[in-house]
């Protein structure tokens, strides 16, 4: 499984790790690294901010960004809704206008007949990759929604046979267990956890190392777990000094652990 790390700005030199990265076209005017780069259309952010979906603006940005993969501009919808017609027309426009670039269509948790329609539509274009997104990260903490997300994914996996499936926002250790047979995932969890004082321990998951009182369900890192982390970083040649006192360094550590280890926590195994 390919893990792609989201980069919102230049504050963290995550590209120095030599890994694939994903940017949002709303926030970037150029790509200053040579890493494999995926570009998100920003459809979800546009919707949340109450902005209009400007297809021409996305096309112009995609035209000059020197990236490897581009997500089609789609309109996220509530679970079990109909597929918006503009999602099809947006894909067709970008696919034909940017024929030298790889455009990945996105399917959401549409009602079953529309999900079938969307999959058949994109398959007719012979695309190599299709992404699944929209409700994956926000609803995985809710039992009913979690089940829906998994069932839809299984249907997509079966329908796409050997095609490449990318799951948007599903790069955390638990998500990778759920979508274990996806070809790629992306995540910004390495950064979010670090900002809240958490680090990811190889094979165990997140632990708290900050100074504040813990107000969420996460254990404080034990000395044994910290030794496990330091040993892992040393044996895998982590290229920076492993300082746990600053969120930036914690972010780099988390990113390194995400791309170089797996997660075997029993509690998560029962959920998958």
| Average pLDDT for 232-249 | 95
205 - beta bridge partners?
A: 201
| Average pLDDT for 15-41 | 95
> Which is more confidently placed, 166 or 203?
166
Measured distance CA(37)–CA(65) in Å, rounded: 10
Measured distance CA(122)–CA(47) in Å, rounded: 23
Q: What pLDDT was estimated at residue 77?
A: 82
The answer to whether the predicted template modeling score (pTM) of the entire model surpasses 0.75 is yes
Measured distance CA(171)–CA(2) in Å, rounded: 9
For the stretch 113-128, pLDDT in tens is: 999 999 999 999 999 9
| Average pLDDT for 179-189 | 92
Query: Whose structure tokens read 């890192």?
Result: 221
Residue 214 near residue 243, CB atoms below 8 Å: no
Measured distance CA(22)–CA(10) in Å, rounded: 13
> 150-163: buried (b, 16+ CB within 10 Å) or exposed (e) per residue?
eebbeebeebbeeb
pLDDT exceeding 90 applies to what percent of the chain?
A: 69
Read off the tokens for 205.
């998951």
For the stretch 42-94, pLDDT in tens is: 877 776 677 777 899 999 999 999 999 999 999 878 888 899 999 999 999 99
């Amino acid at each position: 499984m390919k893990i792609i790390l989201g980069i919102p700005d230049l504050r963290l030199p995550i590209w120095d790790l030599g890994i694939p990265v994903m940017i949002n076209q709303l926030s970037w005017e150029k790509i200053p690294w040579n890493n494999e780069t995926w570009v998100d259309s920003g459809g979800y952010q546009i919707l949340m901010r109450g902005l209009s979906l400007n297809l021409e603006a996305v096309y112009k940005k995609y035209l000059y960004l020197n990236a490897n993969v581009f997500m089609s501009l789609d309109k996220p919808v509530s679970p079990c809704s109909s597929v918006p017609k503009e999602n099809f027309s947006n894909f067709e426009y970008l696919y034909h206008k940017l024929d030298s670039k790889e455009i990945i269509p996105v399917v959401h948790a549409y009602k079953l007949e529309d999900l079938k329609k969307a999959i058949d539509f994109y398959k007719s274009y012979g695309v190599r990759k299709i992404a699944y997104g929209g409700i994956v990260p926000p609803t995985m903490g809710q039992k009913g929604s979690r089940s829906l997300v998994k069932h839809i994914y299984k249907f997509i996996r079966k329908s796409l046979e050997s095609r490449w499936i990318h799951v948007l926002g599903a790069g955390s250790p638990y998500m990778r267990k759920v979508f274990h047979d996806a070809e790629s995932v992306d995540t910004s969890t390495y950064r979010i956890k670090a900002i809240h004082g958490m680090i990811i321990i190889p094979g165990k998951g997140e632990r708290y190392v900050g100074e504040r009182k813990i107000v969420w369900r996460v254990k404080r890192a034990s000395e044994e777990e910290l030794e496990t982390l330091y040993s892992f970083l040393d044996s895998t040649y982590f290229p920076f000094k492993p300082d746990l006192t600053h969120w930036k360094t914690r972010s780099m550590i988390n990113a390194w652990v995400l791309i170089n280890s797996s997660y075997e926590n029993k509690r998560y195994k029962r959920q998958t």
